[in-house]
Amino acid sequence: MSFDLVLFGGTGDLAWRKLMPALFQAFRHGTLPPDGRIIGIARDDLSDAQYRELIRSRFHDVELAKRPSPEEFDRFAELLHFLRLDLSHPEDFRRLADTLRERHADTVVMYLATAPDLFLRVVEQLAGAGLNTPNTRIVLEKPLGHDLASNRQINDAVRAVLSERQIFRIDHYLGKPAVQNLFAMRFGNALFEPVWRREHISNIQITIAEDLGAEKRGAFYDKTGALRDMVQNHALQLLCALAMEPPINAHADAIRDEKLKVLRSLSPWTPVSLDQHVVRGQYTAGMVHGHPARAYREEPGVSPESNTETFVALRTDIQNWRWAGVPFYIRTGKRLASREAQIVVNFRETPHAIFHAPPGSCNRLVINLQPRDGLQLHLLALGQENRRNGQVLTPVHLDLDFDKRFGSERVGAYERLLLDVIAGRLNLFVRSDEQEAAWRWVEPIMEHWANDERGPRPYAAGTWGPSASSAMIARDGFCWPEEC
């Protein structure tokens, strides 16, 4: 199968940090279709040779195991081409059309690795140049809009020139191997389904923590914040994967229908729940891993008076028979104590205790997404007999490390998703009605904050966020993993 992958923003941060390394890994693994062409698009005035050298130099920042040898890169570079293009010039898009017609590839992928406010302009210019053919696919990066209205505007514009099956709204968390194994664990095994419900689960916690700050993305992040950047997409997609009903098959729409049902079942916000069940924070100066870290308002590109949140913690419920009464907790933030993403499923205690056990101990399933990738099942086993208390249970755990188990067979998130786009597989991409349901649910939070003069709660860099986050979960009698 022949393909052309046209990468708008071909010299940008996302291209060289994520997309080019992922495409190279697919090339190295032999999974990238051999008859392919990757065309970088930007306003820079570069030849093909100069573009290839630019990409070569960027691989010095990639982890050692994923760097190409000089010979490997030379072979990969044969796929790389460059076209100078100004998004406001229709004649440049006509030149792109001429370039693509040179060989009539089976599939043409338009990857918009640009600022979201440029999506509409690119889509209109593509249609004007006749590049919205049946073999065209378009990839849209998040955040898709900044609220429900802007999201609808973008989706309407794209659907006006392309069909839904040609639109790939990417959320790279859905491509992570651990998330794929979450689906496999739930729907490929009979072990968990009988206990995956309110009768056996007390609460579920989703944490996406970063130890980095805004870094060089300050200008972008200050307009976005943690709610738009992480909760509306990544965190809610993880919640859907955890809570959805088994789909009737593994087809894309069957999976996305079930995720949509979860989003529509989330408890609507009220003034009381917005005050009690949502916490926003912003990091101040502190110490991260023993090194001083500046405050968010001191980051380049950030307003000194910014009220943009760098931390969000919230509690929600799913109003259906499976999950009624089970709280779901989400927290995400920058400049936290460590970089980790994990899901913790806490099971209820046994109905009648016949052994002595440490206070608060219970079974739990921990799904690690980063930096480790694997599962831990925490159980209670019989330890040494205590003369005073008799038989005493001791916490133990079973640990499955996917990286160790599968080694080099592991496929990274962007690698998997890019290959799926080329192959036309939509299972791991988000449908427009999913996005709208997610925006509809977070909008009351955004509106509440816009009218709240208190602003975000401060927390020192290198901690786990504002103390109000711990107080929120403690009111239900639970605690975050590092506090239990």
388 pLDDT above the threshold of 70: no
361 pLDDT above the threshold of 80: no
pLDDT of 386: 57
Establish whether 210 is an annotated binding residue.
yes
Q: Active site includes 104?
A: no
pLDDT of 315: 98
The residue-averaged pLDDT of 454-481 equals 97
The segment(s) of the chain belonging to CATH 3.40.50.720 are: 3-141
Establish whether 131 is an annotated binding residue.
no
Give the three-state DSSP class for 181.
Answer: helix
408 pLDDT above the threshold of 60: no
In this structure, are strands 340-347 and 201-209 parallel, antiparallel, or unpaired? antiparallel
pLDDT of 390: 63
Percent of the chain with pLDDT over 70: 97
Under a CB-based contact definition with an 8 Å cutoff, are residues 68 and 28 in contact?
A: yes
Task: Give 318's pLDDT tier (boundaries 50, 70, 90).
Answer: very high
The segment(s) of the chain belonging to CATH 3.30.360.10 are: 174-411+461-483
Establish whether 87 is an annotated binding residue.
yes
pLDDT of 444: 98
Long-range contact pairs involving 88-91 (C-beta distance under 8 Å, separation at least 24): 88/121, 90/125, 90/128, 90/129
pLDDT tens-digit readout, 26-73: 999 999 998 999 999 999 999 999 999 999 998 887 877 788 999 999
pLDDT of 401: 85
Residue 335 pairs in a beta bridge with none
Cα–Cα distance measured from residue 340 to residue 371, given in angstroms and rounded to the nearest whole number: 6
Under a CB-based contact definition with an 8 Å cutoff, are residues 87 and 122 in contact?
A: yes
Q: What is the residue-averaged pLDDT of the chain? A: 92
Q: Which tops the pLDDT comparison, 302 or 182?
A: 302
Task: Give 432's pLDDT tier (boundaries 50, 70, 90).
Answer: very high
Under a CB-based contact definition with an 8 Å cutoff, are residues 20 and 55 in contact?
A: yes
**Annotated catalytic residue within 234, 291, 352, 378:** 234
Establish whether 253 is an annotated binding residue.
no
297's CB contacts (< 8 A; 6+ apart) are 282, 303, 304, 305, 306
Under a CB-based contact definition with an 8 Å cutoff, are residues 106 and 135 in contact?
A: yes
452 pLDDT above the threshold of 80: yes
Neighbour tally for 412: CB within 10 Å: 18
The most confident of the ranges 131-140, 345-354, 360-369, 382-391 is 131-140
The residue-averaged pLDDT of 147-164 equals 95
Cα–Cα distance measured from residue 381 to residue 169, given in angstroms and rounded to the nearest whole number: 45
410 pLDDT above the threshold of 80: no
User: 174-411+461-483 sits in which CATH class?
Assistant: alpha beta
Q: Which tops the pLDDT comparison, 353 or 308?
A: 308
Establish whether 43 is an annotated binding residue.
yes
Distance of CA 483 to the CA centre of its chain: 25
Establish whether 86 is an annotated binding residue.
yes
407 pLDDT above the threshold of 70: no
Task: Give 312's pLDDT tier (boundaries 50, 70, 90).
Answer: very high
Lowest mean pLDDT among 131-140, 172-181, 351-360: 351-360
389 pLDDT above the threshold of 70: no
pLDDT of 409: 57
Tokens 């993403």 found at: 341
Q: How many helices and strands in the chain, by DSSP H and E? A: 17, 17
Establish whether 176 is an annotated binding residue.
yes
Superfamily name and number for 3-141:
NAD(P)-binding Rossmann-like Domain (3.40.50.720)
Distances (CA, A) of 446 to 113, 134, 228, 473: 26, 38, 9, 21
396 pLDDT above the threshold of 90: no
